[in-house]
Amino acid sequence: MSGPAEERLIHDWAAAGGSAARPAAPPMLDDETLRDGLQSPSVKDPPVEAKLEILHLMNGLGIETADVGLPGAGPRQREAVERLCREIGDHKLRVRANCAGRTVVADIQPMADLVQKTGVPIEACIFIGSSPIRQYAEEWDIGHILRHTEEAVRFAVGEGLEVMYVTEDTVRSHPDDLRQLFSAAVRAGAKRVCLTDTVGAAVPQGVRNLVTWVRKLLRELGAEGVGVDWHGHRDRGLDVANTLAAIEAGVTRVHGTALGVGERVGNTAIEQLLVNFKLLGWRDDDLTTLPDYCAAVSRAVGVPIPANWPIVGRDAFRTATGVHAAAVIKAQKKGADWLADRIYSGVPASWVGRAQEIEIGHMSGGSNVLHYLRTRGLPTDQAVVDAVMALAKRSERLLTEQEVVETVQAAARRTGS
């Protein structure tokens, strides 16, 4: 983490006027990749072997809970959930299982049955729409939603399941309705409530207002021990910012998916949360397998990782710009790895098992070329450097290693070196 030199060389404006509220305990993570992530219209539902690999990678990253599916959705889903739960039990994984379901017995009973079959506890995450717009479209009234809430939570608790009660579209729901619904769920035995930004409509200040209001309500109910979750989507691109705001306001567990895959344009990217939590000092996980985790999900669901995707994209720690490359090289020459990893990067590449990469392109300078040649054991005499630079300036893209090697060989033949 940070040391005296870093504090002296990097000024933190976030702390200049008083830092944001630090969570009382490290925020927990619930990984929705194998449930909400598979609701993306562009993914494929992977075979259970791929899901097992992903589950182990989640466990290695220290993720506390994982939504392993909707067993009430049919035999294929139920079989996959059973395999995943057995894997948790057989390998004594730290990650704990939960399952999503509607507030109906038909969705909850399969969860209870699987607990009996596998001996592995399952948290029941049961949801129902709560916003006025949803009520209008469904022709529901608050009495209908309340009845489903009370009956479903009581049934799940009676079956020995821990319950997280989820109000869909919480961020657009009226406080009078939320007061009735959360009160009923807590009275019926829910251990957690989940606030959702189902359509990605929230902004950070709205998230803070909502979380603060819910925590006040729980205190009034004498239910301070009930946990509060946040589940956000990314339709406005505010998913990570909203999640950080929710934690600062007092939620204790937040949800995300690998690469942000999920309904419509997706959920909060869990790899971005993990890195931000470490940068903020909220968690200190070993993230060196994070690229492996994202790559496994990419393969399994058939969604390629964009080159410019934060942290795990090909270009995340890669530059061909002369000024940037020169600064990285100078930092490396000072012999301080942390300096080279931060001079032109807000995320240390070494944290995620990667390194700063310097390439050659039309915006490169001589330092790029010299560094590139030296790190590959290629000649660095001036004629070679000039030849590679000339090719780079004519190119409309980065040079490939093959192009550089061929240029170096041609220059060597011309000079007889």
pTM: 0.93
CA–CA distance, 268 with 396 (Å, rounded to integer): 35
Backbone angles phi, psi at 101, to 5 degrees: -170, 160
Q: CA-CA distance, 314 to 298, in Å (whole number)?
A: 13
Are 313 and 305 spatial neighbours (Cβ–Cβ below 8 Å)?
A: yes
Q: How far apart are the first and last CA of the chain?
A: 47
pLDDT (tens digit, 9 = 90+) per residue, 204-232? 999 999 999 999 999 999 999 999 999 99
Give the C-alpha separation, 72 to 222, whole Å.
Answer: 33
b/e map of 154-189 (b: 16 or more CB within 10 Å)? Answer: bbbbebebbbbbbbbbbbbbeeebbebbbbbbbebe
What type of residue sits at position 19? S
Structure token digits, residue 106: 């038909």
Asked whether the beta carbons of 325 and 257 are under 8 A apart, the reply is no
- Closest to 201 in 3D by CA, of 286, 259, 131: 131
Q: What is the pLDDT of residue 21?
A: 74
Q: Are 289 and 63 in contact (CB under 8 A)?
A: no
d(Cα 300, Cα 93) in Å, to the nearest integer? 21
Measured from the Cβ of residue 412, the count of other Cβ atoms closer than 10 Å reads: 16
Residue type, 338: W
Half-sphere exposure of 219 (CA within 13 A, CB side): 7
- At 15 the pLDDT is 77
- Low-confidence stretches of the chain (pLDDT < 50) are 1-4
pLDDT at 2: 46
The rounded distance, in Å, linking the Cα atoms of 253 and 250 is: 9
What is the pLDDT at residue 108?
98
> How far apart, in whole angstroms, are the C-alpha atoms of residue 314 and residue 308?
7
Q: Could you tell me the domains of the chain?
A: 20-301 (3.20.20.70), 318-415 (no CATH)
pLDDT at 112: 98
> How high is the pLDDT of residue 232?
98
